[in-house]
């Protein structure tokens, strides 16, 4: 796992965006896994700058991580709406190529299976963008989610409903259920990029990166992924123990094909 620590949240967004932009430059029809929440917003803003400077996202496919169950079709809190407004439009993506789990399907189980099939028929996710919940969740995979889980219906944890109450009139209006890609789905993405900013994420980040891989901390599965990058600001990194290792690795030339790059 590569851990990069930056002084401010905007630099986190820029660094994550650079990775995504590089992928899209080399693979114009790349498949991106899209996250909602405040964490990736700086990343999307940086990508929108790249788009205004000419980067073409029109052939890029997108699969959102999750969606609430039970919100009315015109509710602006639906992740389908959030993804459309914060990603599809500003990046100039083709809306027909951006999918979100269908939280108001008549048959939610079938909708989950269909979503997995859509991801598979797109060839799988090339790069999955992730935030992290204060309880260590990724997507809406709450603590004690199965590592093998695929897209499914989940009950939201009380702490997640409390965290997300800021978007609703009161905590009781936050949906009780959601559809989310599983941890097994996320692990199959070819690359993971997790972004976190702020002291409120520091404990979850430290537990996920430096604690045991355990179902109680779903984000700890990043330790199992062969190509995972975690991009943090100083506040989100403030409870890490191995900061000097990460900084040393980030500042040491990379060995490629037996040679030191740039030497």
Catalytically annotated residues: 66, 135, 137, 142
Q: Determine contact, residues 157/142, Cβ cutoff 8 Å.
A: yes
Q: Which of 9, 62, 103, 133 binds ligand GLP (CB under 6 A)?
A: 133
Q: Pairing state of beta strands 152-155 and 177-180?
A: antiparallel
The tokens for 120 are 């598979």
When the beta carbons of 38 and 146 are compared against ligand GLP, the nearer one is 38
CB of 44 to ligand GLP, least distance (A): 12
Residue number, nearest CB to ligand GLP:
131
- By CB under 6 A, the residues from 61 to 80 that bind ligand GLP are 65-66
Q: Which of 140, 217, 228, 230 binds ligand GLP (CB under 6 A)?
A: 140
Cα 12 to Cα 38: distance, rounded to the nearest angstrom: 13
Residue 207 makes contact with ligand GLP by CB under 6 A:
no
Q: How far is the CB of 19 from ligand GLP (least distance, A)?
A: 17
Q: Which stretch binds ligand GLP (CB under 6 A): 56-64, 107-115, 133-141, 249-257?
A: 133-141
Closest CA to 47 of 79, 82, 15, 80: 15
139 belongs to the binding site for ligand GLP (CB under 6 A): yes
Nearer to ligand GLP, 65 or 97 (CB): 65
- Cβ proximity to ligand GLP: between 3 and 55 the closer is 3
Residues in the chain: 263
Residue among 148, 158, 140 nearest 221 (CA): 148
The radius of gyration computed from the CA coordinates of the chain, to the nearest angstrom, equals: 18
- Name the helix (H) or strand (E) containing 259: strand 259-260
Which of 21/34 has CB closer to ligand GLP?
A: 34
CB atoms within 10 A of CB 40: 27
User: What is the CA 139 to chain-centroid distance, rounded?
Assistant: 7
Pairing of strands 177-180, 66-68: antiparallel
**180/157 Cα distance (integer angstroms):** 13
Residue number with CB closer to ligand GLP (9 or 131): 131
Q: How far is the CB of 183 from ligand GLP (least distance, A)?
A: 13
**Pattern 159-188, ligand GLP, x by CB under 6 A:** -x---x------------------------
- Considering only residues 5 to 64 of the shown chain, the ones binding ligand GLP according to CB under 6 A are 35-39
Q: Distance between CA 45 and CA 86 in Å, rounded?
A: 8
Considering the complex, state which of residue 58 and residue 176 has its C-beta at the smaller distance from ligand GLP.
176
Residue 36: CB minimum distance to ligand GLP, A: 5
For 201, residues 6+ apart whose C-beta sits below 8 A from its C-beta are: 39, 132, 134, 235, 236
Which spans of this chain sit near ligand GLP (rule: CB under 6 A)? 35-39, 65-66, 131-133, 139-140, 160, 164
């Amino acid at each position: 796992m590569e851990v990069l620590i930056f002084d401010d949240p905007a630099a986190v967004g820029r660094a994550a965006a650079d990775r995504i932009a590089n992928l899209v430059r080399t693979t114009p029809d790349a498949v991106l896994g899209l996250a909602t929440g405040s964490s990736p917003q700086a990343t999307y803003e940086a990508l929108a700058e790249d788009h205004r400077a000419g980067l073409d996202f029109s052939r890029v496919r997108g699969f959102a991580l999750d969606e609430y169950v039970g919100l009315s079709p015109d509710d602006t809190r639906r992740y389908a709406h959030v993804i459309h407004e914060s990603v599809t439009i500003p990046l100039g993506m083709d809306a027909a190529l951006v999918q979100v789990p269908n939280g108001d399907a008549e048959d939610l189980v079938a909708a989950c299976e269909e979503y997995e099939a859509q991801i598979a028929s797109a060839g799988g996710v090339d790069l999955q963008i992730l935030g992290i919940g204060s309880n260590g969740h990724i997507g809406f995979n709450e603590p004690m989610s199965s590592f093998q889980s695929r897209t499914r219906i989940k009950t939201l944890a009380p702490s997640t409903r409390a965290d997300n109450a800021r978007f609703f009139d009161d905590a009781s209006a936050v949906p009780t259920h959601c559809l989310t890609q599983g941890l097994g789905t996320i692990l199959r993405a070819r690359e993971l990029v997790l972004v976190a900013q702020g002291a409120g994420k520091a404990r979850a980040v430290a537990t996920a990166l430096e604690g045991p891989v355990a179902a109680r901390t779903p984000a700890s599965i990043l330790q199992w992924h062969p190509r995972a990058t975690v991009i943090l600001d100083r506040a989100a990194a403030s409870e890490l123990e191995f900061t000097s290792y990460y900084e040393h690795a980030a500042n040491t030339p990379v060995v490629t094909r037996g040679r030191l790059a740039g030497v």
